[in-house]
Amino acid sequence: MTAAGAELTLRHPVERFSLDNGLRVVLAPDRSVPVVAVSVFYDVGMRNEPEGRTGFAHLFEHMMFQGSAHVPKMEHARLVQAAGGTFNGSTHQDYTNYFEALPAEALERALFLEADRMAAPAITEENLRNQIDVVKEEIRVNVLNRPYGAFPWLQLPQIAFESFANTHDGYGSFVDLESSTVDDAADFFSTYYAPGNAVLCIGGDLDVAETEELVRRWFGPVPARPVPPLPPTGEPSPTGPRRGEVEDRLAPAPAVAVGWRVPDPVGDLDTYLGTVLLSELLSEGDASRLERRLIHDDRIAIAQSSYVGLFGDPFDVRDATLLTTQVHHPAAVGVDTVLAAVHEEIAKVAQDGVPADELARVQARTEAQLLRQADSVLGRTLGFAAAELIHGRAELAGELAARLAAVTPEQVQAAARGLDPDTAAVLELRATGGAK
């Protein structure tokens, strides 16, 4: 590793052990501030949902906040906030997580709360119906009644992929949500929320031996259950172009999204990192290739962005995934004009390569973002947990900045050569009721 790479590597120690019930535990002590973060990552996300139960991973995330065997509804929030802490959870393609950040003396409280809902969340008809209504309202606000609400994150995968795991609506259809039953919820919990299907990561001001004792006290009694196999989310690479269009009556301007399949984020990480930096080079900042070309020079776009992964976080996804470029453009500009300019800019990188100084600027910005995320105890703990679950090595989260610094111009050029216009998925959005 270069001297620069060594300086970018986080040196926080990581300890790990497993419980008899299969729970994997990662401890990342940092005694510099009197704060701890507790996170539980379950290896179940949107891609695990069965047909007829779209949106169930997210719905069940809501259910996990409705109380548990020894914690009445709303008490989890009250106990965390009374200790001066914060909490939340989120659903992703490949995992669902729950977390708290609290003063160090409240560590045991957080462990008790997470262990209690790992053992027995309150799966009742009342809770299920209530949370179905909450999720439906969330969909109305975030998708149905918002310009570009489903574009392109819910719509492009339907064109870019083939399997149900990769193409279905992870937010869920109202029909599927409304037909969910308590038995469905109980089965989902029994299958995917087993201790052996989870990673518990604790970071911050902790004593390793004392924390291990607390973890064994609270999580050890949670019964073991079989762990489901990972869903087969990988797909063969496309051999031809795919194209579709949608209408949006709320959108003020048309838009287009292009998605290219990228290397396996887990099995081919080094190649994948070249693609991550390529997406940054294309679209991040006023000096980026697509910002200059589309907006400043040709003036054929209103806004543009490129990112890897469904939610724009490239380091917590498995295969298969996309590099997506989305462009909002004036109605007077044809979509094929926009697409031609995007493909031309990528072709320039593929043919001519990337100047070292341009790549260095992109690397510096990306590395700074990673290090900034890891600056807080909670951010660092979440990064360690995701890396342990997805890549099998929590330490990778602390090495990513250094590994990005080691990516060469040749790797980025190779990534650009992989973005073939003839294998891209294109989704055109027509603005049918916006500003004239």
- Please tell me the distance from the alpha carbon of residue 134 to that of residue 258, in angstroms, as a whole number: 32
Query: Average pLDDT per run of 10 along the chain, which is 436 residues long?
Result: 58 91 97 95 96 96 97 96 97 97 98 98 97 97 96 96 96 96 97 98 97 98 95 91 96 97 96 97 93 96 95 91 97 97 98 96 93 91 97 94 95 97 97 67
**Residue 194 phi, psi (nearest 5):** -65, 145
Residues whose CB falls within 8 Å of the CB of residue 327, separated by 6 or more in sequence, listed in order? 255, 256, 257, 290, 294, 301, 303, 304, 338, 342
Tokens of 264: 């396996």
Would you state the pLDDT for residue 231?
A: 86
- The pLDDT score that the predictor gives to residue 1 is 47
Domain 242-431 classification at class level: alpha beta
Distance separating alpha carbons of residues 50 and 406, to the nearest angstrom:
40
Q: CB–CB of 180/128 below 8 Å?
A: yes
Q: In the block, which residue shows the tokens 């940054």?
A: 280
The C-alpha angle 220, 221, 226, rounded to 5 degrees, equals 85
Q: Delimit the domains of the chain by residue range.
A: 10-219, 242-431
Let me know: does 21 contact 385? Beta carbons within 8 Å: no
Establish whether domains 10-219 and 242-431 are of one fold.
yes
Sign of the C-alpha dihedral computed for residues 315, 318, 322 and 328 taken in this order: negative
Structure confidence by residue, pLDDT tens digits, 161-173: 999 999 999 999 9
- SS3 call for 294: helix
What is d(CA 335, CA 295) in angstroms, rounded to the nearest whole number?
14
- Whole-angstrom Cα distance, residue 375 to residue 307? 23
CB contact at 8 A, 233 and 166: yes
The string of pLDDT tens digits covering residues 365-382 is: 999 999 888 889 999 999
**What is each CA distance from 334 to 49, 233, 243, 340, 393, in whole angstroms?**
38, 35, 15, 10, 46
Per-residue pLDDT reduced to its tens digit, 13-29: 899 999 999 999 999 99
State the pLDDT at residue 163.
Answer: 95
pTM, full prediction: 0.95
Enumerate the β-bridge partners of residue 245.
Answer: 428
The CATH class given to the 10-219 domain equals alpha beta
Residue 5 has a pLDDT of: 55
DSSP 361-426: HHHHHHHHHHHHHTTSHHHHHHHHHHHHHHHS-TTHHHHHHHHHHT--HHHHHHHHHT--GGG-EE
| Contacts of range 120-126, beta carbons closer than 8 Å, 24 or more positions apart | 120/68, 120/69, 121/63, 121/64, 121/66, 121/67, 121/68, 121/189, 121/193, 122/63, 122/66, 122/67, 122/68, 122/69, 122/73, 123/63, 123/182, 123/185, 123/186, 123/189, 124/66, 124/182, 125/182
Tokens read off for 245:
């269009």
Report how far residue 90's alpha carbon sits from residue 62's, in angstroms, rounded to the nearest whole number.
Answer: 9
Q: CA–CA separation, 78 vs 428, rounded Å?
A: 46
d(CA 33, CA 37): 11
